[in-house]
């Protein structure tokens, strides 16, 4: 596996604040890699360290085998797409996309040809003469992508690029980005706080908290086999069971996790008091109290739905209880 980006013991401190704290990371060439975590967890600072907008307090950063701590952003084989798009309102789409080539001194005819080619890649052929104000949010996002791709970077850094879009458009753009990355074959590093974005798009996900990487793995591993309670709770809102509860079931004193969709109403099992019932459209979320342990059950459409205040019996398959590290 050829490394596109590698962190070795990288830290970035702002006074007493450890924004990034001893991170080791290896992103493969051609990989769609997501950095996932809550606000202030260090994921965006890591992206800025890759781009060259921040310098590490300690540690080594390599991009395609080159140590880059002292390399300015414009000399790195990466480009960045920001959440706010950063398009120039007075320039048309073609000139926005070609702006970097203009700064580099490329002749107008050549840079416009490159800009039109980049717009074709993001399905905006023929939009070059429009102003950004004449485009939808999704179209402006694709213009920002085209501008980032025009210099043919080896890696594309995306800093919460879909955060400003509504839900339907965000889901559409998730699919488009996934297809685009696979067609281009270049490395994508995608920063998000949205678990569904990370799980649906990435080949691997790094979960951040308090400046550290808590777990790195495939979306399936992160979701079904979390290594720490924080990962289980943050990614998909799992039922995190305390060690005492898990010990009674398995004999192992360790935290456990059961996904809400794995919990079901049963004829025997654990007695639970129904606290709230919330209709979600395709499913119904039921909040429970199980001997003092809060749990959530996600019932599919058509299932029998209990009422608030009711006492029910619940259970789950043994293989759906994931026991984390003691």
pLDDT digits (tens, 9 = 90+) for 139-150: 888 898 889 888
What whole-number percentage of the chain has pLDDT above 90?
71
Q: Which of 25, 36, 34 shows the shortest CA–CA distance to 61?
A: 25
Do residues 30 and 141 share a domain?
Answer: yes
Do residues 207 and 224 share a domain?
Answer: yes
DSSP letters, 184-245, are H--EEEEEES-HHHHHHH-SEEEEEETTEEEEEE-HHHHHHS-SSHHHHHHTT--EEEPHHH
Do residues 174 and 243 share a domain?
Answer: no
Do residues 224 and 90 share a domain?
Answer: yes
pTM here is 0.88
11-50 tens-digit pLDDT: 999 999 999 999 999 999 999 999 999 999 999 999 999 9
Do residues 114 and 47 share a domain?
Answer: yes
What's the pLDDT band for 138 if we cut at 50, 70, 90? confident
Q: Could you say which of 232, 265, 285 is where a domain stops?
A: 232
Counting the structural domains of the chain, the total is 2
Mean pLDDT of 75-88: 86
Do residues 206 and 293 share a domain?
Answer: no
The enclosing domain of 302 has a CATH number of 2.40.50.140
Do residues 213 and 244 share a domain?
Answer: no
Amino acid 6: pLDDT: 97
Q: Could you say which of 200, 232, 264 is where a domain stops?
A: 232
Q: Which of 172, 171, 167, 205 shows the shortest CA–CA distance to 188?
A: 205
Parent domain of 270: 239-323
Choose between 215 and 81: higher pLDDT. 215
Q: Which of 108, 53, 60, 106 shows the shortest CA–CA distance to 78?
A: 53
The enclosing domain of 140 has a CATH number of 3.40.50.300
Amino acid 2: pLDDT: 84
Do residues 144 and 73 share a domain?
Answer: yes
Do residues 167 and 61 share a domain?
Answer: yes
Do residues 191 and 254 share a domain?
Answer: no
Do residues 89 and 165 share a domain?
Answer: yes
Sheet holding 311-315, edge to edge: 293-300, 283-290, 264-279, 311-315
DSSP letters, 129-184, are TS-GGGS-HHHHHHHHHHHHHTT--SEEEEESTTTTS-HHHHHHHHHHHHHHHHHH
The yes-or-no verdict on residue 1 having pLDDT over 70 is no
179-209 tens-digit pLDDT: 889 988 999 999 998 898 899 999 999 999 9
For residues 125 and 221, what is the distance between their CA atoms, to the nearest angstrom? 39
240-280 tens-digit pLDDT: 999 999 999 999 999 999 999 999 999 999 999 999 999 99
Do residues 149 and 30 share a domain?
Answer: yes
Mean pLDDT of 91-120: 91
For residues 231 and 208, what is the distance between their CA atoms, to the nearest angstrom? 9
Q: Could you say which of 179, 209, 232 is where a domain stops?
A: 232
Q: What is the length of the chain?
A: 326
Amino acid 300: pLDDT: 93
């Amino acid at each position: 596996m050829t490394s596109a980006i590698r962190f070795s013991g990288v830290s970035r401190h702002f006074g007493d604040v450890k924004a990034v704290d001893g991170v080791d990371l290896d992103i493969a060439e051609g990989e769609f890699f997501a950095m996932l975590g809550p606000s202030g967890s260090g994921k965006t600072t890591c992206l800025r360290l890759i781009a060259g907008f921040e310098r590490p307090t300690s540690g080594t950063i390599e991009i395609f085998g080159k140590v880059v701590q002292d390399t300015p952003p414009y000399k790195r084989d990466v480009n960045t797409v920001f959440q706010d798009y950063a398009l120039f309102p007075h320039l048309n789409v073609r000139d926005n996309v070609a702006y970097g080539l203009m700064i580099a001194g490329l002749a107008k005819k050549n840079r416009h040809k490159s800009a039109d080619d980049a717009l074709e890649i993001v399905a905006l052929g023929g939009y070059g003469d429009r102003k950004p104000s004449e485009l939808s949010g999704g179209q402006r996002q694709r213009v920002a992508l085209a501008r980032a791709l025009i210099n043919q970077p080896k890696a594309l850094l995306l800093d919460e690029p879909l955060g400003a879009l509504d839900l339907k458009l965000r889901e559409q753009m998730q699919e488009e980005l996934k297809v685009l990355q696979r067609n281009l074959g270049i490395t994508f590093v995608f920063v998000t706080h949205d678990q569904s974005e990370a799980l649906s798009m990435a080949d691997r996900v790094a979960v951040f908290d308090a400046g550290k990487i808590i777990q790195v793995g495939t979306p399936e591993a992160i979701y079904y086999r979390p290594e720490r309670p924080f990962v289980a709770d943050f990614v998909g809102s799992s039922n995190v069971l305390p060690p005492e509860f898990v010990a009674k079931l398995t004999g192992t004193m360790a935290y456990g996790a059961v996904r809400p969709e794995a919990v079901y109403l049963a004829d025997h099992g654990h007695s639970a008091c129904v606290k709230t019932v919330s209709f979600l459209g395709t499913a119904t979320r039921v909040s429970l109290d199980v001997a003092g342990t809060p749990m959530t059950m996600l019932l599919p459409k058509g299932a029998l739905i209990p009422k608030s205040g009711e006492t029910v019996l619940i259970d789950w398959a043994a293989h759906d209880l994931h026991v984390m590290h003691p």
